[in-house]
Amino acid sequence: EPEVTQTPSHQVTQMGQEVILRCVPISNHLYFYWYRQILGQKVEFLVSFYNNEISEKSEIFDDQFSVERPDGSNFTLKIRSTKLEDSAMYFCASSEGRSSYNSPLHFGNGTRLTVT
């Protein structure tokens, strides 16, 4: 079964550094998402992306964050000038369609980001 692939599985970075988290969505999927889970807390929506633009974002997704689909396969989340509170597990997801009715989210295994 096709999978969403995320790399790296664990990233350690120093406060103030930029970091890029990478995801390869399922190949025929058109909608892409990033979610975040701070350790021990719930999973939170960050952003959805369709047709090369952001379709929806949460209040967490401020100017520090950006997303990009640089080529036909990758989907990236960039965090500029990381802060300690950005330490979390970041999940990429993709779906074939917009609606949960016929097109459920497929999550990757996550990238654990540690900011020191």
Which one, 78 or 98, has the nearer CB to other proteins? 98
77 in Cβ contact with 65 (< 8 Å): yes
- Which helix H or strand E contains 90, and what residues bound it? strand 88-95
98 makes contact with other proteins (CB under 8 A):
yes
Beta bridge partners of 11: 113
Which one, 7 or 109, has the nearer CB to other proteins? 109
CA pair distance 65, 72, nearest whole angstrom: 21
Binding site for other proteins (CB under 8 A): 31, 33, 35, 41-45, 48, 50, 55-56, 58, 89, 91, 93, 95, 98-101, 103-110, 112
